[in-house]
Amino acid sequence: MHHAGAESAVKQTAYIGLGANLGARGETMRAALRALAELSFVQIDCVSSFYETPPWGKIDQPPFLNAAACVSFAGAPHSLIGEMQRIERELGRVRREHWGARTIDLDLLYVDGVTTSDDVLTLPHPYLTERAFVLVPLAEIAPDLIVYGKTIASWLCGADTEGIARAPDLSVPYPLNLIAACDAAGGIGRGGQLLVRCPEDMAYFRRQTMGGIVVMGRRTMESLPEQRPLEGRENIVLSRTLERADGFHVVQEISELWTLLGRLAFDEPRPIFVIGGEECYHLLLPYVWRVHVTRLPGRYEADVFLPPLDGFVQTESCTGKDCVFETYERV
């Protein structure tokens, strides 16, 4: 994420290791990444895949998910580690035993050009070159990073990677897009149907979502022609009351949604679009990076509305024949 207030400060590059083996591991790690992205002096540049890894040091505990992230930051490394420890606490980390189980673990692994050692922080991280669960994800995003005279890829060649495998889970902190058509008042529907069928908007919707994954609520599914899935896309229904629907993947909880999305996008990443309705938009907006809005002319007697796009900024606007197409991104 980009923060305008940090533009004038000198940026440094850092690498952060993430791990979790308790609770909803993947979502906790994504929550940690979102919390890092929300810091005014930090920008996340890239994140590795998530990896299933066996426990290290203390082996009588559940397996871990691990990942690595590259970030740019302004300020001192001690400020960054302080914020990382705060995020750990807020996500439920309790430091009861060395190398023990934890809801989340954030390690500052390396900061370009910085070597330090005190009671709070040692850089490079003292175990960076010894832990395969650190080296595997780090080698994915920074194979040529040189630590102690050798590249990360070289260190990995000598590591024991047995039991480490890429996990079918989403590692992007904001993995979703949202697409909607609304009137001047933000209305998106009435009586379980679209406000109006605009051919220009429907063609735009098809172009944006074709080949991707669409996520919808039950009422949106029921509003589709003959309640059939959209062709050329994987269709997912998020509903607490629906058990199955022909041609659709059905999930009842957000945790199930993340697992399914991770599996569907495992071999080839595909764009994921939230397509409605109101409740689904509200529920999933915190996980959205980009919003596509078609502004329909006039006002209709809507009974459901697009949630406010707080925390987003408009990045594009294109005037069509019958409507205006806008794009917003999270800031």
Reduced to 3 states, what is the DSSP secondary structure of residue 43? Answer: strand
Q: Catalytic site residue 219? A: no
* Percentage of residues in the chain having pLDDT higher than 90: 83
Preceding omega of 62 cis (within 30 degrees of 0): no
Reduced to 3 states, what is the DSSP secondary structure of residue 90? Answer: helix
Q: Catalytic site residue 107? A: yes
Catalytic, out of 30, 105, 183, 330: 105
64-74 and 42-47 as β-strands: parallel, antiparallel, unpaired?
A: antiparallel
Question: Looking at the chain, which residues constitute the CATH 3.40.430.10 domain(s)?
Answer: 176-330
pLDDT in tens, 3-20: 544 444 689 999 999 999
Q: Catalytic site residue 105? A: yes
pLDDT in tens, 149-185: 999 999 999 999 999 999 999 999 999 999 999 999 9
Of the pLDDT bands very low, low, confident and very high (cuts 50, 70, 90), residue 23 is confident
| pLDDT for res 61 | 74
pLDDT in tens, 30-44: 999 999 999 999 999
**What is d(CA 251, CA 255) in angstroms, rounded to the nearest whole number?**
9
pLDDT in tens, 206-245: 999 999 999 999 999 999 999 999 999 999 999 999 999 9
Question: Looking at the chain, which residues constitute the CATH 3.30.70.560 domain(s)?
Answer: 4-166
Catalytic, out of 25, 93, 218, 219: 93
Catalytic, out of 102, 218, 219, 330: 102
CATH class, range 4-166: alpha beta
122-123 and 116-117 as β-strands: parallel, antiparallel, unpaired?
A: antiparallel
Is 71 exposed, middle or buried (CB count within 10 Å of its CB: 0-12, 13-18, 19+)? buried
Catalytic, out of 30, 107, 131, 330: 107
249-251 and 272-276 as β-strands: parallel, antiparallel, unpaired?
A: unpaired
| Nearest Cα residue to 280 out of 306, 298, 258, 241 | 306
CA dihedral 70→76→79→84, nearest 10 degrees, is 20
CATH class, range 176-330: alpha beta
Q: Catalytic site residue 102? A: yes
Is 308 exposed, middle or buried (CB count within 10 Å of its CB: 0-12, 13-18, 19+)? exposed
